[in-house]
Structure 1
Amino acid sequence: MQITLSALYRYPLKSGQAQVLRHSLVSPEGLALDREWMVATPEGQYITARTHPQLVLVKAEPCDSGITFSAPGMNDIFTPLSAFAAQQQADVWENTFSARSGAQELNHWISAYLEQTAIIMWTGLEPHRRVKNHPDVPIRFVDGYPLLLISEGSLAELTRQARQDFSMLRFRPNLVIRNAEAFAEDQWRRIRIGEVIFELVKPCERCVLTIIDPDTAEKSPQQEPLRTLAKFRKFPAGVLFGQNMIARSTGELRLGMAVEVLD
């Protein structure tokens, strides 16, 4: 049976709510507008839902001129890109690079929501960060790689072992594929979707973010699904689920496209 692209997700705000897409431009940087914004301390140190679970409920809607944020209990706020007028150093996983800040009204908004002083940063039009060991690949505010692929079969196997259902969004993939056997993606090195070739460069090590319900921001008291994953997906590199990828060209992705395994 033909393997196909069954879902596309982007997260304009790092740790924020997913946007469900039917199509998207993809480039070596990742899906268009994915993780272009990030919550940080005033010094530029990244803040995520690992420590602030309520971030998963923040909705970000970018447009050509700016971005609108909404969150429970807060008024919506539109911020033009021009408001990010200051250059500032950002830090993601001890990787320091130049980004944009200075949107004071937005900073007050996110500080009120988190009940602590914080800012929202923008990568700017040209990211100044690169993938570790891949100096030719620019990235935005992702943890380490521009794209994450997971198969429906892998989630189905997790569901079977845990004996309960989990939303794919707990794992924050960009691309989801159908009709592949569970964890078949672990063996792939390169795939083609449309005109774009992707390299699968590193398994994704999972963390406590997976135990946060993306619909409620509540943490699982049983530490699920991380607890079940650790029983059958624990390797020397950690608890692994999904594959980090790099697109080697720019092209359009649409749901239903065929996925060709090259090697």
Structure 2
Amino acid sequence: MFNIDPVPGLDCGDVAAQWLEKVLKKKARLLYQLTIPSPRRSQEFVEQYPLMKGDDNALYADQFPYMLMTRESVADLEERVNFPLSPQNFRPNILVEGSNKPYDEDDWAYIKIGDAIFRNLSPCSRCIFTTVHYKTGIKEPNMEPLRTLRTYRKTDDSNSPFFGLNLAIEIIGNISEQDFPKCDKFCPL
């Protein structure tokens, strides 16, 4: 977590920790969230993202509960870096296919998938973790795809490019892999 208050959890024990340490080759513990905690964000964070509501909980995520991107945006970036990329480089928990064009998601205010409606809180700023291969854990020596993203997906006041959307749930509902998202730029669906 980055600059966020600690989040309590249930330690899953030494057996789980030993397995994680073997796989990760470093000290680790596995925590489980039993209940939905009270919101864990600073006043500065709330002021920075005014569309956040009091019950938008990220649990163990860095800042936001959901991150969405489209395959079309990943394909566009892949062409620009000229080597294979996977959406997993960016670790979205919602991946959409079939948008009209790359970065179409930038303009979505609300996204309905299945019975759920999500609210766009902000573009997702990307960091050095995007340069670490999701399977091998090896960092890309030439800083791709972050280097390329910085050439066309950043604002003037930040060195962090944007790629994907940070979302919160507006209406809780079930979603499945077969659900096609319906998007609206202005108001809830």
Equivalent position SS for 2:76? helix
Match of 1:257 among 168, 179, 182: 179
Matches within 5 A, 1:215-226: 215-226=135-146
Q: Please give the alpha-carbon distance, in whole angstroms, between the structure 1 residues aligned to 2:38 and 2:134.
A: 28
1:169 and 2:99 are equivalent in the alignment = no
Structure 1: 5+ residue stretches without partners: 1-45, 47-91
Structure 2 partner of 1:242: 164
Structure 1 partner of 2:111: 191
Change beyond 3 A, Cα 1:113–1:260 = closer
Structure 2: 5+ residue stretches without partners: 47-52
Q: State the TM-score, normalizing by the size of structure 2.
A: 0.81
Coordinate RMSD, CA, aligned: 2.0
Kept in 1, the 8 Å contact 2:119–2:168? The answer is yes
Kept in 2, the 8 Å contact 1:99–1:128? The answer is no
1:119 and 2:56 are equivalent in the alignment = no
Superposed displacement of residue 99, structure 1: 1.8
% same residue: 25
Q: State the TM-score, normalizing by the size of structure 1.
A: 0.60
Q: Please give the alpha-carbon distance, in whole angstroms, between the structure 2 residues aligned to 1:226 and 1:242.
A: 13
Match of 2:132 among 204, 209, 212: 212
Kept in 1, the 8 Å contact 2:72–2:103? The answer is yes
Change beyond 3 A, Cα 1:221–1:251 = same
Q: Please give the alpha-carbon distance, in whole angstroms, between the structure 2 residues aligned to 1:193 and 1:113.
A: 35
Higher RCO (C-alpha 8 Å, min separation 6): 1
Kept in 1, the 8 Å contact 2:56–2:169? The answer is no
* CA deviation string 1:207-249 (max 9, x = no partner): 1111111122211111111111111112134211000111222
1:96 and 2:13 are equivalent in the alignment = no
Equivalent position SS for 1:218? coil
Change beyond 3 A, Cα 1:157–1:123 = same
Kept in 1, the 8 Å contact 2:4–2:40? The answer is no
Change beyond 3 A, Cα 1:120–1:151 = same
1:118 is aligned with what amino acid?
Answer: A
Of Structure 1 and Structure 2, the greater strand share is in 1
Change beyond 3 A, Cα 1:127–1:157 = same
Of Structure 1 and Structure 2, the greater helix share is in 2
Change beyond 3 A, Cα 1:221–1:129 = farther
Q: Please give the alpha-carbon distance, in whole angstroms, between the structure 1 residues aligned to 2:124 and 2:183.
A: 19
Change beyond 3 A, Cα 1:129–1:206 = farther
Q: Please give the alpha-carbon distance, in whole angstroms, between the structure 2 residues aligned to 1:189 and 1:253.
A: 18
Q: Please give the alpha-carbon distance, in whole angstroms, between the structure 2 residues aligned to 1:260 and 1:230.
A: 29
